[in-house]
Amino acid sequence: MLRHLLFAYQFNLDRSRVMVRDLSDEQMVRQPHGVVNHPAWILGHLALSSDGFARRLGLASTLPAGWSETFGAGGVPSGAAADFPGRDRILDELAAQHARVADAVESVDPAVFAAPFPDERRRRTFPTLGDYAAFVMTSHEGSHIGQIAAWRRAMGLGSATGI
């Protein structure tokens, strides 16, 4: 099963790259028709989420300074390109976070995933760390990548994948 989880995680990274490959840094932060979550925020948020999962696996954070504030949930992303790293920098960070999470997941003792989720408040949603791993590596990323697909339509750009 682990192989399948890692496949989906890599698929999400590859799909993220495809979804923004034709965008400029200025396009990455546009908010058409009230769509607030733009690709720059979404992909930075996914890097932040992967870093958070890495910390749950016992690794130290490697995110650049300020990323937690810029890409954390709960705020309203700015539409100013100067407030965000460029597309290539965001994609590089997302890839770096994916690589370290994938390495950690492959080498961690499987018993770690059977352990109760450490945050008691969220344990009803994610009973075990393995349940959280499956969510953060697949569903969470997939839903945000879907937001980029919807954003592309709102921008009049059409499908990045030909689907």
Question: Within a domain: residue 163?
Answer: no
Question: Within a domain: residue 161?
Answer: no
Domains: count for the chain: 1
pLDDT at residue 103 in the model:
97
Question: Within a domain: residue 27?
Answer: yes
Render 89-111 in DSSP notation, one character per residue: HHHHHHHHHHHHHHHHHHHS-TH
Residues 97, 120, 131, 58, Cα dihedral to 10°: 40
CATH number of residue 7's parent domain? 1.20.120.450
pLDDT at residue 143 in the model:
97
Question: Within a domain: residue 28?
Answer: yes
Give 116's strand partners: 128
pLDDT at residue 2 in the model:
87
Give the model confidence (pLDDT) of 46-86 as tens digits. Answer: 999 999 999 999 999 999 999 999 999 988 899 999 999 99
Average pLDDT over residues 79-103: 97
Question: Within a domain: residue 73?
Answer: yes
Look up the domain containing 66 and give its range: 2-154
Average pLDDT over residues 36-41: 96
- The DSSP element (H or E) to which 112 belongs, if any, is helix 111-114
Question: Within a domain: residue 56?
Answer: yes
Question: Within a domain: residue 159?
Answer: no
Query: Is the entire prediction scored with pTM above 0.85?
Result: yes
Residue 163 — very low, low, confident or very high, per pLDDT cuts 50/70/90?
A: low
CA separation for the pair 54, 33 (Å, rounded) = 35
